[in-house]
Structure 1
């Protein structure tokens, strides 16, 4: 019994990386969309305000909520039997397993608001994908393979990043091609995969990551033989994630009624009394508040799902990071060396203040 508690004690830690990368998560959502019943698709669309599942597939990473950072992964020691694995995971909290259960419970709760279900659904779409990324069910001591350096395609990377995106990117397929080429499950496989529980999804990932650790050598060059073997595993895990996500959503919504359209107020729609105009130098003291702030853009980076814009200084010494998403992402190309004014809620992301901007109305270029 003592060993079980020791296992459960190491189920925390932060990765801070996007699992499966932008393409992988969107492919999972696209595959799932194809396997929804007509009523489920209608209800899902209503909760997402008409957005496609693929459009919100990376929202849980972009949201950058410190309270849910642990929801994306599960840390365990190697060598557990299935029984010990189930026991350890069952006694854990604040990880991908408990997060999936929590979001599904929220979506079943008739008393939960449509807006809260909108958020729960966006998390579930993402977390089912996380559960199928092998390196998201791995060891705490190397941060899920982040500290195990390897070389692939003549570039340095790490074991975690290799499985997040590098293997997928090597195929040079578009998002649409990935979804089409990976979605190959037979009717028998679909029935079998959708009958499995989230615990079994994680057990599968744990078995794969255990094998990957066994063959990983720091500094090794990833060979074509490694790639040819493991791209098949990657394809299967993404297909399984999509099929199982569809299965979970069909269970939740096949007989459900669609809600009224959910709407979330933007900062621009808030009353002036709720928004404070502050100096950029004071932004570190404004966490949790909706503010208007101005500053010069010193650097920016497009990471696929969003454009990160640094005010006050270049990364990593910036005073404030602006994360441009959705329609606002297009503004990223226009901002270098410009002075901008932004309105939004200040959040703390890894000790740095950040404002997420989705609406172009919340950013003005001087």
Structure 2
């Protein structure tokens, strides 16, 4: 297991700006999941998270209200150990040639011609190496990554008595303690909050991405959306003045869509995702996972994100790799927005599936 001293962990975060889906993304995933739960399951989730009651509205659910808790507490001394649980670093430095999408001149010209003729032709791109995949044994050392965390917190909640009248006020109990629960004494409520958050994290493409650029955090870019500079007091008043590729996928694409497509309403964006993407076929496909294949299922979710990162996040709209200092175009935003919407929807469906398996 990878252990980090707090000082070193904070320094790394200061340099790289590690984060997750922004507040909007996590809350959208959580609210989509909430709306998919059976009424009885909603009541159990609400009682577990808020034993003293919660005022559920059309815009705010018990799940969305805790969706960013895990991001907030990982900057505390007590939960600093959880930082590596928010992402997966695919060790691209161990792959000959690294992990990049490539395209030949012939493919590029065919794409241009298809645009001119109005035809819809899928341009095939290929991976430099078939080793450019998420590999659990290589990329989730000692289970300490987002995939391992979901497996672990899911297991903890399964083996805890979450119907007990105390509803998670005490430490996990019952069954064989999982590694995280045993070492860090994580409570049932905390496990639920981590699970809600990390399922969302795993569906952000740049949370399953190349270790060499820390998921795009070291690739500074310009993006057609206002960046509001802020001083981060957590890290000795570090000043953040612009976008990097990771924060574009965390925040910028979602923020821009909310502003220009949904009348500045997160709820309207969530509603449009639900209406457009939560078809019967999509829900069945995204939520399909047999109990005895759980590790394979979650690994496949990670592989989906990694593929999206390589094919859409790391390359521009013409298929060429984005470099440090690149300017991302309006077309990049428009063509990537649909990927973001699909990942938010899939994350919500899968979170609902897990909660139904636990509390349904």
**Aligned residues of 1:144 and 1:160 also touching (Cα < 8 A):** yes
1:56 is matched with which residue? Answer: 66
Q: Does the Cα contact within 8 Å between 1:28 and 1:239 map onto a contact in 2?
A: yes
Q: Against the structure 1 CA distance between its residues 169 and 48, is the aligned structure 2 distance closer, same or farther, given a 3 Å change threshold?
A: same
Q: Distance in 1 between matches of 2:245 and 2:205?
A: 11
Question: Which of residues 118, 122, 127 in structure 1 aligns to 2:193?
Answer: 122
1:141 is the counterpart of 2:212: yes
Q: Provide the aligned C-alpha RMSD in A.
A: 2.2
- Unpaired segments ≥5 residues, structure 1: 1-11, 255-366
Structure showing greater relative contact order (alpha-carbon pairs closer than 8 Å, 6 or more residues apart): 2
Aligned length: 243
1:41 aligned residue:
42
Where do 5+ consecutive residues of structure 2 fail to align?
A: 1-8, 55-61, 93-98, 100-128, 170-186, 228-241, 290-296, 316-320
Secondary structure, aligned partner of 1:75: strand
CA distance in 2, matches of 1:86, 1:166: 30
Alignment of 1:14-163 (within 5 A): 17-49=18-50, 50-51=53-54, 52-64=62-74, 65-76=79-90, 77=92, 78=99, 79-81=129-131, 85-89=135-139, 92-110=142-160, 114-115=168-169, 116-153=187-224, 156-163=242-249
Contact 2:134 2:306 (C-alpha < 8 Å) held by counterparts? no
Taking the aligned partners of 1:192 and 1:147, their CA distance within structure 2 comes to: 34
Q: Distance in 1 between matches of 2:24 and 2:155?
A: 28
Structure 1 runs of 4+ with >6 Å offset: none
Name the CA shift for 1:253/1:80 in 2 (closer, same or farther; >3 Å): farther
Give the alignment of 1:173-322 within 5 angstroms: 173-183=264-274, 184-196=277-289, 197-211=297-311, 212-214=313-315, 215-254=321-360
Which structure has the highest strand share of the two?
A: 1
Deviation for aligned residue 1:87: 4.4
Structure number with the higher helix fraction is: 2
CA contact (8 A) 1:82 1:203 kept: no
* Structure 1 CA distance for aligned equivalents of residues 212 and 140 of structure 2: 21
How far apart are 1:28 and its partner, in Å?
0.6
**CA gap 1:45/1:145 in 2 versus in 1, 3 angstroms:** same
SS of the aligned residue for 2:143 comes to: coil
After TM superposition, give the deviation of residue 71 of structure 1 in Å.
0.6
Aligned-partner SS, 1:146:
coil
Decide whether aligned partners of structure 1 residues 99 and 84 sit closer, same or farther in structure 2, where only a CA change above 3 A counts: closer
User: Is the 8 Å Cα contact of residues 87 and 146 (structure 2) preserved in structure 1?
Assistant: yes
Could you tell which deviates more after superposition, 165-174 or 73-82?
A: 73-82
Q: Is the 8 A contact 1:27 1:179 kept in 2?
A: yes
Cα offsets for 1:79-115 (capped at 9, x unmatched): 4548772443465421101110111011111357713
Give the Å deviation of 1:219.
1.4
* Structure-2-length-normalised TM-score: 0.63
Q: Distance in 2 between matches of 1:85 and 1:72?
A: 17
TM-score (norm 1): 0.62
Going from structure 1 to structure 2, the CA distance change for 1:207 and 1:240 (only over 3 Å counts) comes to: same
Answer whether contact 1:59 1:122 (CA < 8 A) is retained: yes
C-alpha deviation, 1:217, in angstroms:
2.1
SS of the residue 1:57 aligns to:
coil
